[in-house]
Structure 1
Amino acid sequence: MCKRHRCAGAGAGGRHGESAFDELARQPLVPLELSRGGPGVAWVDADADGDPDLLIGAGAGGRAQLAVNEAGRLTDPVPVGAPAVGDHTSIIALPTSGHPVIIAGLSAWEARSPADLDAIPPLARLDAGPAPAVPPSRHATGPLAAADVDGDGDLDLFAGARATPGAYPLPADSRLLLAEGGDWVVDAEAAETLREVGLVSGAVFSDVDGDGDPDLLLALEWASVRLLENDGGRFSDATEDWGLAAHTGRWNGIATGDFNGDGRPDLAVTAWGTNTGRSASPERPVGAVASDFDGNGLVDLIEFETGADGVRRPVRDYLTLGRALPFLRRSAPTFETFARSSVDDLLGAGRTGLYRTSAVTLLHTVFLNVGGRFEPRPLPAAVQLAPAFGVAVADFDRDGREDLFLAQNYFATPRGLGRHDAGRGGVLLGDGAGGFEVLDAGRSGVGVYGDARAAAVADFDADGRWDLAVGQNGAETVIFRGRGGAPGLRVRLSAGAAGARLRPTYADGSEGPAREIQLGSGYWSFNGSVQVLGRAADIRSLTVRWPDGVEETFPVEAGAVEVTLRRSEGS
């Protein structure tokens, strides 16, 4: 990203607050605390002055924090919007001719009753406009992403369902909201495709099949990455066709980038890594068996791991399982019998109504788009030593090859288990062929030691170098400025460019990696709209495919540091 002595933290943003919520009183065997998912972070031009400001989501009862960009310096964060009635999740900004419309997801995970669910709307508005009128949902909102999915010129919104309160890990229903006459309406046809789509942790729109309309990619927990292919505004599940279905995991965040320079969007997906006491493979998957075993209206689950003998055994200890599910003591009355028991032994033969999940990998993985299929490439071992959530794609060293940042760690582990804190934030330099090299903190200048979640990039000080904001659960958001080396070329696209694709051509006639203008990506993250392209001195032209499919090529003058590209009239 930058040399050790040339990279400096630019300061810290607002502190993320968490209200107390006892997850284990409701579902004592959940493997993670979904009330500790935030904060989301977003680089948005909140004051419409042309540069990105920083917005940080809040926990339930708190208010979002806004750090205003004043000539490349961020002010101290100030609260904006009403107090959140549920945890903020993603924050996204929908561009307009003036101030953007700023929307935050609201999680109802902490709802204790149906009445609580009804009182927590799925979305909140953080700018001065009226709150979006969206039908209530019985599921907790997770990631948001926006795109013009039907080509009518209006931005539509995907609202991913993270889980159903009291029913983890059963799959939840997500929704696609279409912009119609100033309102959002649920796309009834997409609702069928998104029914029980899974536990959505991350979402991004990307034209993976190159047909000119945005497809939808979902990072799911206890499932494969899901690809919903868009054909003229109608979505169909293409996960198996593209070779993703076999790679079930506990996926957290998802971003796209052209990692091998072939013009196609590849995927970078975060997971749990190798250092959590769990490992998974196709031969030895991990997973869970779930049902309302005790009939109290709440879902219980038993996690398992698979031994070398193929037997699926519980991963939680006898006392923990026995307290949560006393009936198990009938199947295993002693520690000795428990130690010999499989999950099926504990549950007994003939039990019906079980929901089963499994994961064959826990590795942070890049999936290369080879044209009609994705091929997995796990990221290097050094970055697998901690879980990761946020994933940001940018050319940090400005060499014309896309790089990655992973926001690492997870502290909210079940009682009795140590927190997962071996990460410092992973900076990985791309080789332009789909491979990555991990930089240590001494070389990258980036060190994030807290419970990191979202990660978003922008060039907020307009120096031609990517800057980075990393949200930490229950702590301050940390900001790093890019430092050192020749600056990149800053590129602005005219309004209405969400979904556009941008690609440079160099002096030798070769092309650089393709970039897409996206509204929401990674894990609850929103990147700045101005692009920074590496190898600035070599760029001779920029080709833009606008959202409606029209393609234009713009010359770039030698020595240019910033260009603004506007669609030609009549094109």
Structure 2
Amino acid sequence: GDPVFSEISFMAGMAETDWSWNPSIADFDNDSYRDIIITNGYPRDVTDHDFAAFRQNSKPNTNKKDLIDHMPIIQIPNYAFRNNGSNSGNQSGLGFSKVTEAWGLEQPSFSNGAVYADLDNDGDLDYVINNINEKAFLYENTTNSIQKINKNFLTIAFKGDAQNKDGIGAIATIYYDHNKMQVYENSPYRGYLSTVDKKAFFGLDTIKIIDSVLILWGNGKKQLLNNITPNQTITVDIQKANNSITIPASIAVNNLFTDITHSVGVQYLNRDLDFNDFNEQILLPHKLSEYGPAIASGDIDGNGLDDLIVGGSGDSQASFLMQQKNGQFIPKLLPFNMGSDARRPENSGILLFDADKDGDLDLYLASGSSQYLANTKNYQDQFYTNDGKGNFTFNETAFPKNYTSKSCVKAADIDKDGDLDLFIGGRVIPGKYPMPVSSFIYRNDTKNGRLQFTDITQSIAPELSNIGLTCDALWSDFNNDGAVDLIIAGEWMPIQFFKNMGGKFKNTNALSGISSESGWWNSITGGDFDNDGDIDYMAGNLGMNSFYRASNSFPVSIYAKDFDKNNRLDIITTVFLPDENGKRKEYPAQNRDEQTEQIPSLKKRFLTYKEFGKARFEDIFTKEELKDAYKLQANNFASSYIENLGDGKFKLHALPALAQIAPLYAMVVDDFNQDGNLDAAINGNDFGTEVGNGRYDALNGLVLLGDGKGNFSPQSILASGLYIPGNGKALVKCRSLNDNYYMAASQNNAPLKIFKRKIKQRMIALQPEDQYIIYTLQNGQQRKEEYYIGNSYFSQSAPFIITNSSIKQIEITNYKGIKRIIP
């Protein structure tokens, strides 16, 4: 299929290269990883904002020379970035290091075109740069002349046929050192106004033998050369190519999942309300109205097959996808029953659970988003009872009135009385971001068929009052004492741990060992990823591919106050950036235009863009102005594996690089490759960002295979079969006819996708009263899993587990401590 690319310049450390012209991508230090040199500079900056203001205000008869003289000059060095390869020093494990000075390219210039070639035949690439109004630069590469150990290389020259003498379009792949590989497409036309050497160059570090060289010519013929010695130029000739060479079949035949959306009749397209949050709060770091749709899965109509319900928004009502015995899904709308004076709410959380213990799944829809005025009935949640056949009746009296904009709803039997109680997460006060929001616990007081839930937050968990901006939560026994505890993930906060202490919940975050790790935590899910008998966690965060980069020394901060006293909450987000001396100082994240649109009085303090650009945050606002400001900070944006160390203590481990290229949202944890170790499938991206930062769209869905020791291996799209390129949100698992394993993935303003696990596995249904499962593996290890009714971001999976040949025995324990053994 077509190639898929992800834009990762922020994570790679090369998003800010000024006025760039020509990126040269080649292995300049012969370490087997391709580096990048970017030419830079421009004699006059016609885009400078101060010049634009001067031109707009200049007299009509101002001559062109005077206008040009007011344009800034951009004479700066070119940029060189060394590819760190697998030895990257940054947190994400992937990136480039700026080596402009170290490589001798620090001379300021107005450069544009550039080429590379081994001009002195010493086995490394030299570099030539063309400049405006200046002589060209010629840089000798001294990699192999100053180092004690020469780094090896291979050069390939192409000899084509009469119609294509240089073999343009041929693809060379070299294999070496236990399946490592490099690929080169033969085209010398690389970069702005530039043509490089016609030969392919491969740096090899200290590799002494190349196992094979495979050439795929433009006419489809192939050529294979084996056991090639480095440090030479070999010539490949199309006349020696043939069609008899067999290339191993694509890995796609063994991928984990396949997309079956159309074959099962699913044509669901999410159409979210086009609401502009930035009209309400100009400097929001992201929208708060574009986070759905939510998905829940379960057997709604009692036919033994798992159905789906997809959440609605202001432009659409929630919709069922009812699974039929022929494997097809049939759409069915949920009736809207909130009255003619109410708008359709955004369903920010969906829960299918047996509220009244009559043996079928009732429906709770939590209402969220920010598109309506705060504290209005548009944020009242909806509850429906099920007649057992998938017909739902609206119940207006079973739950307390609650006009908070919410993020999630999760169920567990926290008091072990045989029915399910609820956690309700508070997300935001519309128009008042990032002020804190309360979350809630509802106890199920249903008796004699009369449904009734009671808000008991103040009596058992008063610390949930104004807890913050909750994004996700999990009922989980994190200290392994048999009682269900509560974990909360949210924005501008660390992961919060609430220990169940005799039916009351106490915030024990200070003892967790990770209480200082504040982030924009979107989601959390659990699993025993290291096979040690307790529950670890995986948490989705902003990721490392953003303008917002945070650390303990240099956090990202947000200040909230009505600075200009116009009865609207103003917010200022700050980051640490290098000043003119290279020292990191706190600056506002947005530019002068954006800041003055929110607080017009700043125009008088900073008359020019240059003045504002140089001003630190402390220069913009006085201590007196900041005295009453509400302040939050984040110092860790890495999506993480949270290792359970026991006794309520944890350790954060950043997930692999490919899990950091965009925000992570919903996750499904299961043993996808049948090796006895838990893996994770992930949905993500966020298109609702501020314009200046650009949308987060680098993720295409991701599968991480676990090794049972807390390490994860990211799988390519080809290997996993999971491809979710849009604004991904929810992800759930469900069963189909004949025990096929499905996953459903939602995308905001894009189609719902259904994936099928290629290998069938035995499935075991769980009961509402089940709490956790102990797997005894064939190797003697024991792995613990918990049954979550509501799991991960905007998601609820169907109640079942899978088993395979790696598992010797399964023991399921319910809330009353009753166990059942499944061989």
With the length of structure 2 as denominator, give the TM-score of the two structures. 0.64
Deviation at 1:477, TM superposition (A): 1.1
Counterparts in 2 of 1:451 and 1:109: CA distance versus 1, 3 Å: same
2:790 aligned with 1:520: yes
Residues 2 and 482, structure 1, Cα contact 8 Å, conserved in 2: no
Residue of structure 2 equivalent to 1:343: 617
Counterparts in 2 of 1:316 and 1:461: CA distance versus 1, 3 Å: farther
Counterparts in 2 of 1:6 and 1:288: CA distance versus 1, 3 Å: closer
Counterparts in 2 of 1:161 and 1:74: CA distance versus 1, 3 Å: farther
Residue of structure 2 equivalent to 1:459: 735
Aligned counterparts of 2:774 and 2:553: Cα–Cα separation in 1? 41
Residues 272 and 363, structure 1, Cα contact 8 Å, conserved in 2: yes
2:184 aligned with 1:184: no
Deviation at 1:512, TM superposition (A): 4.0
2:353 aligned with 1:94: yes
Aligned counterparts of 2:822 and 2:400: Cα–Cα separation in 1? 47
Residue of structure 2 equivalent to 1:256: 526
Aligned counterparts of 2:773 and 2:654: Cα–Cα separation in 1? 27
Counterparts in 2 of 1:219 and 1:241: CA distance versus 1, 3 Å: same
2:745 aligned with 1:470: yes
Deviation at 1:329, TM superposition (A): 2.6
Residue of structure 1 equivalent to 2:699: 423
Counterparts in 2 of 1:132 and 1:9: CA distance versus 1, 3 Å: farther
Instruction: Describe how 1:21-420 pairs up with structure 2 within 5 A.
Output: 21-71=275-325, 73-82=327-336, 85-95=344-354, 96-107=357-368, 109-112=370-373, 114=375, 117-125=376-384, 127-131=392-396, 133-181=398-446, 182-187=451-456, 188-190=458-460, 192-307=462-577, 309-351=583-625, 352-372=627-647, 373-420=649-696
Aligned partner of 2:638: which letter?
L
CA offsets 1:81-123 (integer angstroms, 9 cap, x no match): 3177210111111134332111111116222265xx1353134
Residue of structure 1 equivalent to 2:813: 545
Structure 1 window deviating more from structure 2 (514-523 vs 12-21): it is: 12-21
Which secondary structure does the structure 2 equivalent of 1:350 belong to?
helix
Which secondary structure does the structure 1 equivalent of 2:805 belong to?
helix
Aligned partner of 2:437: which letter?
A
Deviation at 1:69, TM superposition (A): 1.6
Residues 381 and 402, structure 2, Cα contact 8 Å, conserved in 1: yes
Aligned partner of 1:10: which letter?
I
Deviation at 1:132, TM superposition (A): 5.2
Which secondary structure does the structure 2 equivalent of 1:537 belong to?
coil
Aligned counterparts of 2:688 and 2:742: Cα–Cα separation in 1? 28
Residues 502 and 543, structure 1, Cα contact 8 Å, conserved in 2: yes
Instruction: Name structure 2 gaps, 5 residues minimum.
Output: 1-250, 338-342, 386-391
Deviation at 1:505, TM superposition (A): 1.9
Aligned partner of 1:156: which letter?
D
2:727 aligned with 1:447: no
Aligned counterparts of 2:816 and 2:288: Cα–Cα separation in 1? 38
Residues 3 and 444, structure 1, Cα contact 8 Å, conserved in 2: no
Which secondary structure does the structure 1 equivalent of 2:454 belong to?
strand
Residues 206 and 215, structure 1, Cα contact 8 Å, conserved in 2: yes
Residues 386 and 420, structure 1, Cα contact 8 Å, conserved in 2: yes
Deviation at 1:415, TM superposition (A): 2.6
Deviation at 1:463, TM superposition (A): 3.2
Deviation at 1:138, TM superposition (A): 4.6
Deviation at 1:171, TM superposition (A): 1.1
Deviation at 1:128, TM superposition (A): 2.4
Aligned counterparts of 1:531 and 1:122: Cα–Cα separation in 2? 30
CA offsets 1:200-233 (integer angstroms, 9 cap, x no match): 1111111111111211111110110111111222
Alignment identity in percent?
26
Aligned partner of 1:554: which letter?
I
Residues 109 and 139, structure 1, Cα contact 8 Å, conserved in 2: no
Aligned counterparts of 1:343 and 1:124: Cα–Cα separation in 2? 47
Residues 681 and 702, structure 2, Cα contact 8 Å, conserved in 1: yes
Deviation at 1:6, TM superposition (A): 6.6
Aligned counterparts of 1:109 and 1:208: Cα–Cα separation in 2? 32
Which secondary structure does the structure 2 equivalent of 1:434 belong to?
coil
Aligned partner of 1:316: which letter?
Q
Aligned counterparts of 2:635 and 2:811: Cα–Cα separation in 1? 40
Residues 676 and 806, structure 2, Cα contact 8 Å, conserved in 1: no
CA offsets 1:287-329 (integer angstroms, 9 cap, x no match): 2111122334332111111235352111111111111111223
Which secondary structure does the structure 2 equivalent of 1:411 belong to?
coil
Bigger Rg over Cα = 2
Residue of structure 2 equivalent to 1:10: 260
Aligned counterparts of 1:480 and 1:45: Cα–Cα separation in 2? 18
Aligned counterparts of 1:539 and 1:113: Cα–Cα separation in 2? 51
Residues 106 and 124, structure 1, Cα contact 8 Å, conserved in 2: no
Aligned counterparts of 1:7 and 1:61: Cα–Cα separation in 2? 32
Residue of structure 2 equivalent to 1:561: none
With the length of structure 1 as denominator, give the TM-score of the two structures. 0.91
Which secondary structure does the structure 1 equivalent of 2:426 belong to?
strand
Which secondary structure does the structure 1 equivalent of 2:427 belong to?
strand
Aligned counterparts of 2:321 and 2:269: Cα–Cα separation in 1? 12
Aligned partner of 1:173: which letter?
S
Counterparts in 2 of 1:472 and 1:555: CA distance versus 1, 3 Å: closer
Residues 13 and 76, structure 1, Cα contact 8 Å, conserved in 2: no
Residue of structure 1 equivalent to 2:761: 488
CA offsets 1:457-480 (integer angstroms, 9 cap, x no match): 22334436x421111001111110
Deviation at 1:451, TM superposition (A): 0.4
Query: Which fold has the larger relative contact order, with Cα–Cα distance below 8 Å and residues 6 or more apart in sequence?
Result: 1
Which secondary structure does the structure 2 equivalent of 1:36 belong to?
coil
Counterparts in 2 of 1:286 and 1:401: CA distance versus 1, 3 Å: same
Deviation at 1:401, TM superposition (A): 0.7
Tell me how large the CA RMSD over aligned residues is: 2.1
Aligned counterparts of 2:675 and 2:397: Cα–Cα separation in 1? 42
Which secondary structure does the structure 2 equivalent of 1:519 belong to?
coil
Deviation at 1:503, TM superposition (A): 1.4
Name the count of aligned residue pairs.
545
CA offsets 1:221-247 (integer angstroms, 9 cap, x no match): 011011111122200001121112111
Counterparts in 2 of 1:443 and 1:347: CA distance versus 1, 3 Å: same
CA offsets 1:318-369 (integer angstroms, 9 cap, x no match): 1111111112234433222212222232121212211111111111101010
